[in-house]
């Protein structure tokens, strides 16, 4: 299995993004490997104002349409009940703060589920946690 990071997943369903086709192609190559999604950050990223770094500025209605499209492409991975314990362990062990907290949560979920790889545009964020990061150009 391979986890699709939010930054890849939302670009799959956003044609105007610079990495759109690269992300689509990578996901198409990996679909047979059991690509999975965690959608916790997607709503935030899609509806965050464009003025903020990385925001897409979509309305809740448009964000819902994009998320529905994502769910048709990959299985959603529910968070394990004990995710907070693993997340907190990683936060403390690696002194994680600020913008890396969400990636740490993804890593915690991967570790609990035995998922060893993530397709992401932010590879260095995951090395700390022992998760193999693949850039869409490498997949």
pLDDT per 10-residue tile (average), the chain, 139 residues: 85 84 87 73 86 81 89 78 96 94 92 91 91 90
The pLDDT value given to residue 64: 92
103-108, long-range: CB < 8 A, 24+ apart:
103/5, 104/129, 105/40, 106/3, 106/5, 106/38, 107/131, 108/83
Q: What is the pLDDT of residue 131?
A: 93
pLDDT at residue 126 in the model = 92
pLDDT given for residue 85 in this prediction: 97
d(C-alpha 61, C-alpha 63), whole Å: 5
Distances (CA, A) of 35 to 62, 69, 96, 104, 129: 24, 14, 26, 19, 20
What would the two tokens of residue 6 be? 């939010």
Residue 1, pLDDT score = 80
Q: In Å, what is the CA distance from 81 to each residue of 5, 84, 92?
A: 20, 8, 19
HSE-up (13 A, CA, CB side) for residue 47: 13
pLDDT of residue 53: 67
């Amino acid at each position: 299995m391979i986890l699709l990071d939010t930054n890849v997943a939302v670009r799959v369903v956003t044609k105007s993004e610079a990495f759109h086709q690269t992300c689509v192609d990578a996901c198409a190559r990996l679909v047979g490997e059991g690509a999975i999604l965690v959608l916790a950050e997607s709503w935030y990223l899609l509806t965050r104002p464009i003025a903020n770094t990385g925001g897409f500025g979509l309305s809740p209605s448009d964000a819902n349409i994009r998320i529905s499209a994502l769910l048709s492409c990959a299985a959603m991975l529910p968070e394990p009940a004990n995710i907070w314990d693993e997340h907190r362990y990683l936060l403390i062990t690696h002194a994680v703060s600020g913008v890396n907290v969400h990636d740490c949560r993804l890593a915690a979920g991967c570790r609990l589920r035995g998922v060893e790889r993530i397709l992401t545009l932010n590879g260095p964020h995951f090395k700390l946690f022992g998760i193999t990061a693949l850039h869409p150009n490498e997949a």
